[in-house]
Structure 1
């Protein structure tokens, strides 16, 4: 059963069509991957889906049968759709605990109960010795884990992860893969985008590839990455960037 349905979604910034007539569905319990070269519209699509900081210009989005394309980010989060960001965002002057409390207060569940917050922090590997520390004292990995904990404290039904492995070492990437799998095992549907293709390929059950704001292909990861159009999109982007 489709938990998320995206129909004909578009978003422009002046003459630039960042997302152009994109349609797809995400099944409940699925890990759904989103790939594409730089500038393909992946982060813009994440912004549109969560209403942070904007929705679509055109198209329809429904989450568990509720139309959300015209809703504010706060209302969408209350329905159970949470996200992380490319950078390991946190309120740096607040403690680890306080950051997770804010997530809990913003989300779908029963609020900022201590048990919810403690469980989310412990789940991502931030034990009690971290809870009173300012978040700006954490390592890059632990700040990313804190961002996940704040999202999990929202008790989401779907979690959108925007390049969660960026800036991590190889061992940290491997640890994050395991963490994402454990989140999925809890029944949380996951949509993720990532430039580290091994990360994306190891987790995704289906993979959608965007190029210049449009869907290039959608299917099983191995088949998608063998598609000559996908190879050209990535290699062409690298030639252009070099």
Structure 2
């Protein structure tokens, strides 16, 4: 059963169509991968789905049967859709615990979440209680990414949009992130995953969509998608011409 439907979505910046008539569905419980060259519209697509900071100019985003297209980001979050960002966003002067508590107050858990729920989210991603009082500014890149995940989980999402969670990580940290994302999916949370690290995409994704110049290039089984000549040209075409 589809939990998310994206129907003819476009986002325009003047004459530029950053996202151009993109349509797809995501099944409940699925890990749905999204790939594409830099500037292909991946993060802009996430913006239009989450309403942060804007929705689509054309088309519809339907989450659990409800049209999100004209709703504000905080309303969408409280319906059960959370996201992370490419950069390790956090309130640096707040503690690890306070950051996650901010997430809980913003999301679906806002009316009922307290210390126990935030503690559970932080421990789930690997923080021990000794870390709870540390300022976010003192965390490593990997720990800041884990804090973003914990903050999103504290929102009690039904669907989670992950924007390049492996960016800036070492190979062992990427492997740990793969394990953590699998555990999140094991809780029944549907995941949309943008990533440039092919290992993560191929390991986690059940289906993979490739964007190029704002449009969907292909959608299918990950191993077949990455071997598609059009996908190879989209990623390597300029490099081949330069050679």
Q: TM-score range by the shorter chain?
A: over 0.9
Deviation string 1:95-151 (CA, Å, 9 cap, x unpaired) is 000000000011112443111100000000011011001001011100000000000
SS of 1:25's partner is strand
- Provide the C-alpha distance between the structure 2 equivalents of 1:210 and 1:219, rounded to a whole number of angstroms: 12
Contact 1:38 1:237 in 2 (8 A): no
Which residue matches 2:121? Answer: 120
Distance 1:238 1:6 in 2: 32
The unaligned stretches of length 5 or more in structure 1 are none
Residue 239 to residue 106, structure 1, CA distance change in 2 (3 Å): farther
Structure 2 match to 1:198: 199
3-state SS of the aligned residue for 2:34? strand
After TM superposition, what 4+ stretches of structure 1 lie above 6 angstroms from structure 2?
A: none
Unmatched runs of 5 consecutive residues or more in structure 2: none
Aligned to 2:159: 158
| Partners of 1:93 and 1:12 in 2: CA distance | 36
Q: In the alignment, which residue of structure 2 is the partner of 1:173?
A: 174
What is the distance in 2 between the residues matched to 1:188 and 1:8?
A: 25
1:1-242 alignment runs, 5 A limit: 1-109=1-109, 110-238=111-239
Alpha-carbon displacement from aligned partner over 1:64-111 (angstroms, at most 9, x marks no partner): 001101000000000000000000100001000000000001111244
Q: CA RMSD in A?
A: 1.3
C-alpha displacement of 1:237: 4.9
Distance 1:74 1:241 in 2: 45
Q: 1:219 to 1:107 in 2, by over 3 A?
A: same
SS in 2 for 1:192: strand
Deviation at 1:170, TM superposition (A): 0.3
CA distance in 1, matches of 2:182, 2:28: 15
Q: Using the TM superposition, give the Cα deviation of residue 201 of structure 1 relative to its aligned residue in structure 2, in angstroms.
A: 1.0
Tell me how many residue pairs correspond in the alignment.
Answer: 242
Q: Secondary structure at the match of 1:201?
A: helix
Q: Distance in 2 between matches of 1:88 and 1:12?
A: 26
Distance in 2, Cα, partners of 1:207 & 1:240: 27
